[in-house]
Amino acid sequence: MVHRALSPLRASSFFLFGARGTGKTTFLKSFFAREKVLWFDLLDPATEDRLARDPSALAHEIAAAPKGVKWIVIDEVQKVPKLLDLAHRHIESSRLKFALTGSSARRLKRGGANLLAGRAWLNHLYPLTHAELGGRFDLDEALRWGTLPRVTQLKAAAEKREFLRAYALAYLKEEVWGEHLIRRLDPFRKFLEVAAEANGRIVNYTGIGQDVGVDTKTVQSYFEILEDTLLAVTLPPYSRSLRRRQRKNPKFYFFDTGVASALVGRPGPPLAPGTEAYGRAFEHFLILEAWRQNDYRRRDFRFSYLRTKDDAEIDLVIERPGAPTALVEIKSTAEVRERDVRALRRFKEDFKSAEAFCLSRDPHRKKIGGVMALPWKDGLRELGL
């Protein structure tokens, strides 16, 4: 069994958000393995129907809970948001604690649901990291298929491919259409394909809208859905002015390399080192690894990208509280050379107190003109991730 890096604090009730298939239920069963827990699974149609018809039934069933129960788990709470009001009252009036899972905060936010006003701490669960997989981790497999728990358990390529196809379809049907997050499915389906093709690039809302046949505001709302359903992360452009960051378009990354591939209809294509596709997948993977570790370790680092008017670019700018800002270039090469760090060296002159890193597949540590070129695993550790 894989040991997850997530460690919710037990001193308080908590939310656990994560995309479908990241293993929230499995994690909580392990987390509460030595405790008595009263469990409500809203993915079970009968349970969802019973509590949706009469949310007060939750209070009656909690009152009848066996002696020694200290935790109440409500799995996929966004399906019956009214249950949060009851959870709030119990937290205020009893010693019971709640673990509340969800694959989307969007329905809760839009419905004005009670998010417990800080009485439940917030946690996220992601696809597996390289550290969680340990000796089972294979970089090329992760780039090709992603690291959702289920896909890492499958052996045959055909099985992984079919799983990812089914995942993409299930997301459309259950997470978006089933939760009434959009009015029309066909434009959103086309948007997903176009967005997956644009993965890792600066978002061009107008261009995507033209490709999909919808207006810019609709495209922006679609991207918000991806973020709220935890299927994407975005990197804002770096600027010392927060207002300027908000004026420019972000970079966009799907939450898993395999799912991104499946959404464009070619799950798990072979990736050859040295190709553009391999380089993009490697950058995508490392951005996600940094994002996940930052959250799990509660670092509160702030991530952005930097691009100048002449298209010089830094893949990742990491503002680290109590430490120098880090400029990070991601290269999939197996041998870092001076030409690979030229942009970093130029940018470092404008960031006098910053540290510069080049993360790659090169197994050797090097220092080139003030830039630390590191094997990517070592680089993440030295960045504090």
Q: For position 179, what pLDDT does the model report?
A: 59
* Contact criterion met (CB below 8 Å) for 212 and 184: no
Q: For position 33, what pLDDT does the model report?
A: 93
3-class secondary structure, 185: helix
Domains of the chain from N-terminus onward: 13-124 (3.40.50.300), 130-277 (1.10.10), 297-382 (3.40.1350)
Q: For position 112, what pLDDT does the model report?
A: 44
Q: For position 168, what pLDDT does the model report?
A: 85
Angle at CA 57, nearest 5°, toward 174 and 43?
A: 20
DSSP assigned state of 136: G
Tens digit of pLDDT at every position of the chain (385 positions): 789 999 999 988 999 999 989 999 999 999 999 999 999 999 999 999 999 999 999 999 999 988 889 999 999 988 888 888 888 888 878 888 999 998 876 666 654 455 555 567 889 999 999 999 999 999 999 999 999 999 999 999 999 999 999 998 877 666 676 656 677 778 888 888 898 899 999 999 999 999 999 999 999 988 988 888 888 999 999 976 545 554 578 999 999 999 999 988 877 788 999 999 999 999 999 999 999 999 999 999 999 999 877 777 899 999 999 999 999 999 999 999 999 998 888 888 888 889 999 999 999 999 998 899 999 999 999 999 9
Encoding tokens for residue 269? 């294509």
Q: For position 209, what pLDDT does the model report?
A: 93
- Nearest 5°: phi and psi at 255? -75, -10
DSSP state string for 287-309: HHHHHHHHHHTT---EEEEEE-T
pTM of the model: 0.91
Q: Burial-class residue 245 by CB neighbours within 10 Å (0-12, 13-18, 19+).
A: middle
Q: For position 81, what pLDDT does the model report?
A: 85
Q: Could you give the count of Cα atoms lying within 13 Å of 314 in the half-sphere of its Cβ?
A: 31
Q: What is the 3-state secondary structure (H, E, C) of 21-76?
A: CCCHHHHHHHHCCCCCEEEEECCCHHHHHHHHHCCCHHHHHHHCCCCCCCEEEEEC
